[in-house]
Amino acid sequence: MYKEKAQYVPESLVQIYRDEIIPLADIITPNQFEAELLSGVKIESEEDAFKATDILHSRGTKTVIISSTETGEPGTLVLLASSKTHNGSVKRVRLSMPKIDAIFTGTGDLFSCMLLAWMAKFPDSLKAACEKTISAIHLVLKRTQQAMLAAVGPAKTPTPFQRELRLIESLDDIRNPPDCFKAEELC
């Protein structure tokens, strides 16, 4: 079961996001929990996830990228992306990645920023934008995890400061990530 269940806004604002803000957005990048809240669909499978993206598309959002779901094999996270094209058809992408057993600070913000940058560079390839984004983030997270373990050792819990992403140290990987992951175009 997806464990990230923290809401960063009061419950009373969820309806405003769902009904007023989401229809104004061209791109949204919820995680599984957030996609469930915004769509009203409990996501237990890839089919459920795309049902949620269809609901969010019907509210006016062109591109919905569920940044991380637990719809794949144990020990993996799966990105599921859906984008409506100019002619009304839908492109879908799946990308599986190994789950890193740690808690990080700022991952969602980094994901959104990097995705926007890579979508600008690859405006006609949701697949390429997702691949570059996840490849870079994975390298940042691995570097951050190594720094956390070096600072606190394997038996201790890192502080929020120690969990902050190692962005400066990862600048080359952010600018030009190697192709670590391949996405699959579904339709």
Catalytic residue among 26, 48, 101, 109: 109
DSSP state of 93: E
* 3-class DSSP assignment, residue 64: strand
C-alpha closest to that of 65 among 104, 111, 107, 102: 111
Q: Please say if 109 is a catalytic residue.
A: yes
Q: 138: Cβ–Cβ under 8 A, 6 or more apart, which residues?
A: 97, 98, 100, 180, 181
Quick check: 80 and 67 in contact, CB under 8 A? Answer: no
Beta bridge partners of 155: none
C-alpha closest to that of 137 among 161, 101, 113, 162: 113
The catalytic residue positions are: 109
